[in-house]
Amino acid sequence: MGLLGKLFGKEKSQPYVDAGTALAFKLPRSLNLPDWNDGLPNYTQEEIAAIDRRLSQFQRMSNRELGGEAKFHPEVLPKIQRMLAG
């Protein structure tokens, strides 16, 4: 649904998405994962450095394959980043 639907409360309900989101916030509490806030992990400096290295490696590989600077579509970029961070 578009912006007007959201403004007037006519947005489609997606209960399975809502349930999945709620579960993502409940799991860290129930599994006693204190390093996770609001359903997201707090990465250590070493983990952040490792993720940054992996993202840089992927960018360099992509650049080599294309023979120039690789650009990624904004809708795909977060998926690539999550996959590499994982």
Query: For the chain, what are the domain ranges?
Result: 12-42, 43-86
pLDDT band at 3; cut points 50, 70, 90 = low
d(CA 73, CA 63): 15
* CA angle, 60 then 84 then 33, to 5°: 150
pLDDT score, position 63: 95
In this prediction, residues 48-55 reach a mean pLDDT of: 91
Residue-averaged pLDDT of the chain: 81
d(CA 51, CA 57): 10
pLDDT (tens digit, 9 = 90+) per residue, 26-40?
A: 888 888 877 776 667
pLDDT value at 58 more than 80: yes
pTM greater than 0.85 = no
